[in-house]
Amino acid sequence: MIHFSFDDATATLRCAFEGRLDSPTSLEVAKRMQEKLEGMSSSSFKVVFDMNDVEYVASAFIRICLQTAKEVGTENFSICNTSPYLMKTFKMSGLDAELNVS
Amino acid sequence: MGDAQQIADGILERASIAAGIFSQLNQEETDRIVEAVCRAALDARIKLARMAVEETGIGIWQHKVIKNTLAAELVFEDIRDQKTVGVIARDEQRGIVEIAQPLGPIVAVIPVTNPTATVIFKALIALKSQNPIIFSPHRGAPKCSTEAARICYEAALSADAPEDCIQWVPESSRELTHALMSDARTALVLATGGPSLVKAAYSSGTPAIGVGSGNVPVFIERSADIPFAVENILLSKTFDNGTVCASEQAIVVERAIADEARSAFEKQGAFFLDPDAVKKLEAVVIRPETGLMSPKIVGRSVAAVAELAGITVPDGTRCLMAPQQKIGADDPLSGEILAPILAWYECDDFDDALKHCIALNYRGGIGHTASIYSTDEEKISAFGRLMDAGRVVVNTPSSQGGVGGVFNQLHTSLTLGCGSGGKNITAENITARHLINVKKLCYRKPNERWLAIADDRLLDETLSADDIINAYRG
């Protein structure tokens, strides 16, 4: 569902997701994200959501993206490795720029 | 930023996200959502009908049950097998593949006359086309419309629809509706209601399908089965106390059959008013300050309308018949009245009757609906050619006939397009396929005949039209 890794050199928390991030799964993701962010020792770091292995996202997952971007600052948040279909989802949502989706 | 704009921002932000999420679903997943909403609406048909009449005082709850059922089941049946997601058609010969693209968030304005059935209908066609929808109920019916929307939304969620695929405004206000309609994130306004509302929708700068008033002339031609015609007209005009915009407004008969038709109406419960009573009725049907229908008579019973006008009618009267001579703004009963009242015109002959129907059609009902009872194909055809109406119903009650799916094979719809005459982009019954952009994947299929004419030959001034035609057409 989610794998975390931290790159000290760039102070970046990479969150690699996989599978269907539907509403029930997103609830669990939200909980784990919150725990992870609270457990971070540094107050200044970047967060990257890696969507390479994601098939589907629900509204609840979009809210996690928005919430995380808010917490770390939109300039420190990005979403990468989206499939073209997922990119269109973010485009239609009007959030591709705000969430730095690529 | 005002409160209305802030509320609109929140709603449209959520709707835009729902649009994005929706785009990930396939046809089967989408259809499952639509079926769930249909079933929930059917289960809630009676509760919603009662709520609507209790809140608005308009119409008859038993008839609103029928409307809710029709808006759920007949609309579902009509759109069930339509392809609305991904590839929807493939023409190998022409090399064209059609692909559906949802429009995006739709703002749906709901009329007080159909406050729950219209919600059900619009929810179904919006979800079928993967568009999030935002309901803005009439200020006279916020509770029942919101409840209908809530029931549809919960059913949609239970079938894994995107969150916020159905929303509704927290309170009905002109400012909020305007903010929603004019926002760049709104893809379409689907407005059903009075002329000022429809005008506001078209003035918003957002693409709109706005459907407003009709003024349905009914021609009982001399070859018609008169008792049958009268039975159908009264069935239609008294349905929900005449609130359907496709309901009959004026009866036009040739003098040769006028007595027989009049007698048939009387026999079936209609009451012809004398000139004094007509004057009293005219005084209450229109609001003088706006020239529009008075809300006090819309969808009210015969007894309530008679009491308001101060006229006496026999117990059990089903419909008030108001004999008229003229058609125009100075003759209120020649226009649309959504109540159990029918104007009555006796004409010299067929041509005179047609002229009356044209005048009625152009008195506020252009593009909407017209009706004829006849067995004479030539006359039916002449009537059809002359009426400017998206629907010309034949030997059919026009309320149910215009809506479609009951007495004919029109697409079942509670939003009836009125074409350019009604300032609409279409004269069709609005359905799911009007809520998608159809993209064309165009494979290379060269027009060999066109390519047979070298471009530089066209630059030759001696080349005549015949030369080009002969070369092209062969």
pLDDT tens digits, one per residue of A70-97: 999 999 999 999 999 999 999 999 999 9
List of E strands, B196-332: 208-211, 216-220, 248-254, 270-272, 286-287, 292-293, 319-323
Inter-chain CB proximity B17 and A62 less than 8 Å? yes
Given CB atoms, is B20 within the 8 Å cutoff of chain A?
Answer: yes
Tokens in use for B142?
């916020």
User: What pLDDT sits at residue B425?
Assistant: 86
Note whether B324 and B345 are within 8 A (CB).
yes
Q: Is B444 exposed, middle or buried (0-12, 13-18, 19+ CB in 10 A)?
A: exposed
User: What pLDDT sits at residue B26?
Assistant: 97
Note whether B169 and B7 are within 8 A (CB).
yes
d(CA A4, CA B179): 42
List of E strands, B230-352: 248-254, 270-272, 286-287, 292-293, 319-323, 341-347
- CB pairs A-B closer than 8 Å: 47
Phi-psi region of A94 (alpha: psi -120 to 50; beta: other; left: phi over 0): left
User: What pLDDT sits at residue B67?
Assistant: 97
Q: How many CB atoms lie within 10 A of CB B368?
A: 32
For β-strands B292-293 and B286-287, DSSP reports them as: antiparallel
d(CA B8, CA B30): 26
- Amino acid at site B433: R
Q: Is A61 exposed, middle or buried (0-12, 13-18, 19+ CB in 10 A)?
A: buried
d(CA B351, CA B59): 36
User: What pLDDT sits at residue A44?
Assistant: 87
What residues of chain A lie within 8 A of the CB of B18, using their CB? Answer: 59
Residue in B17, B19, B24 closest to A85 by CB? B24
Q: Which one is catalytic: B152, B245, B319, B418?
A: B245
- Amino acid at site B187: A
pLDDT digits (tens, 9 = 90+) for A3-53: 999 999 999 999 999 999 999 999 999 999 999 999 988 778 999 999 999
Q: Is B320 exposed, middle or buried (0-12, 13-18, 19+ CB in 10 A)?
A: buried
CA distances from A25 to A28, B21, B164 (A): 5, 15, 18
For β-strands B248-254 and B341-347, DSSP reports them as: parallel
Buried/exposed code over B373-410 (b: 16+ C-beta within 10 A; e: otherwise): bbeeeebbebbeeebbbbbbbbbbbbbbbbbbbebeeb
What residues of chain B lie within 8 A of the CB of A88, using their CB? Answer: 20, 23
- Rounded to 5 degrees, φ, ψ at B370 are -135, 160
User: What pLDDT sits at residue B172?
Assistant: 85
Inter-chain CB proximity B20 and A85 less than 8 Å? no
Tokens in use for B211?
């459907």
Note whether B373 and B229 are within 8 A (CB).
yes
Tokens in use for B187?
């893809």
User: What pLDDT sits at residue B422?
Assistant: 82
Which residues, given as ranges, of chain B have pLDDT below 50?
none
pLDDT digits (tens, 9 = 90+) for A46-69: 999 999 999 999 999 999 999 999
Residues of chain B above pLDDT 70, percent = 100
User: What pLDDT sits at residue B198?
Assistant: 83
The minimum CA-CA distance between B21 and chain A, rounded to whole Å, is 6
Residue in A23, A60, A92 closest to B20 by CB? A92
Q: Mark whether B245 is an active-site residue.
A: yes
User: What pLDDT sits at residue B363?
Assistant: 94
Residue in A59, A88, A95 closest to B18 by CB? A59
Q: Sign of the C-alpha dihedral, residues B211, B244, B429, B381?
A: negative
Tokens in use for B68?
């809710």
User: What pLDDT sits at residue B457?
Assistant: 87
What residues of chain A lie within 8 A of the CB of B162, using their CB? Answer: 58-59
Task: Give the CA radius of gyration of chain A.
Answer: 13
Q: Provide the Cα torsion B348, B353, B354, B359; round to 10°.
A: 110
User: What pLDDT sits at residue B451?
Assistant: 84
Note whether B345 and B307 are within 8 A (CB).
no
What residues of chain A lie within 8 A of the CB of B129, using their CB? Answer: none
Inter-chain CB proximity B13 and A94 less than 8 Å? yes
